[in-house]
């Protein structure tokens, strides 16, 4: 393994990777030597684009059209990867949604949808993958959290609650599986160039940039490259932590 191939030979699964940060993580990991599988739900064009990027990097790639809330489909996806690749070494729980709704206008279904995708989806995928990691006594799970789950900021409460839950899930699961040499981490970005913040009102974006030390939003590439370090052997003594990457808010 060289510095430019820090994930050489690793088998990766990224959820929600047909576009945005997930797609960039999938392609970045492929360029660093990993075989990369990913899930998506609807975006066929994005699926083809992500898969092409993985293959152009000279890596093996597989895409699965399965929701993180489909427990049977998720189990089948992981079983297929166990059979075809021999397992999953690194799981990136990236799939997530939000809605720009105040509490007074939020319906029960809105709350349930965000909590289900962001929290239950992470649980279902982690449960499916971790069985093989335990057998092999090796693995890394990286949960994509958010600044909204760690700081008091103006953001939808169901989204904040879901990302705070991911922070707690990360530390608890890390303690539970450490004896199997499995590491669990959470990467919590601030506002990025696209994704959940794309519909942010202008006044809230302006306020964020005024308080951000670096004075700008982050890029998918910056987050993906840091994610690659977090899951690599170079970071082998870190587990249970939530790492903020917010430009100094």
84 sits in the region (left: phi over 0; alpha: psi -120 to 50; else beta) called: alpha
Helix, strand counts (H, E) of the chain:
8, 7
Separation of alpha carbons 6 and 231, rounded Å: 9
d(CA 110, CA 116): 10
- How many whole angstroms separate alpha carbon 202 and alpha carbon 213? 19
Whether 79 and 14 have beta carbons less than 8 Å apart is answered as no
40, 159, 180, 237: the catalytic one is 159
Q: Phi and psi of 198, rounded to 5°?
A: -70, -25
Dihedral pair phi/psi, residue 39, rounded to 5°: -115, 155
Task: Give the pair of three-digit tokens for residue 39.
Answer: 């899930």
The Cα-based distances of 60 to 19, 51, 137, 188 in angstroms read 18, 9, 23, 28
Nearest alpha carbon to residue 10 among 85, 65, 63: 85
Q: Which residues have a Cβ under 8 Å from the Cβ of 104 and sit 6 or more positions away?
A: none
Check if 208 is active-site: no
By annotation, the residues acting in catalysis are 159
């Amino acid at each position: 393994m060289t510095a430019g191939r820090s994930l050489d030979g690793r088998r990766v699964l990224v959820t929600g990777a047909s576009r945005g940060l997930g797609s960039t993580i999938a392609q970045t990991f492929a360029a660093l030597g990993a075989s990369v599988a990913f899930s998506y739900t609807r975006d066929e064009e994005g699926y083809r684009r992500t898969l092409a990027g993985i293959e152009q990097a000279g890596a093996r790639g597989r895409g699965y059209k399965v929701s993180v809330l489909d427990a049977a489909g998720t189990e089948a996806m992981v079983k297929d990867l166990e059979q075809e690749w021999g397992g999953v070494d690194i799981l990136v729980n990236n799939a997530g949604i939000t809605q720009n709704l105040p509490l007074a206008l939020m319906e029960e279904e809105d709350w349930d949808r965000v909590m289900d995708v962001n929290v239950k989806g992470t649980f279902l995928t982690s449960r499916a993958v971790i069985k093989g990691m335990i057998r092999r006594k090796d693995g890394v799970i990286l949960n994509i959290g958010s600044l909204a789950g760690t700081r008091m900021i103006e953001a939808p409460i169901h989204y904040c609650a879901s990302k705070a839950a991911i922070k707690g899930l990360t530390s608890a699961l890390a303690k539970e599986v450490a004896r199997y040499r499995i590491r669990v981490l959470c990467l919590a970005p601030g506002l990025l160039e696209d994704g959940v913040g794309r519909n942010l009102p202008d006044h809230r974006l302006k306020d964020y940039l005024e308080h951000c030390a670096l004075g700008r939003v982050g890029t998918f590439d910056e987050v993906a490259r840091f994610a690659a370090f977090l899951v690599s052997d170079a970071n082998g003594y870190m587990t249970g932590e939530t790492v903020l990457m917010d430009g100094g808010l």
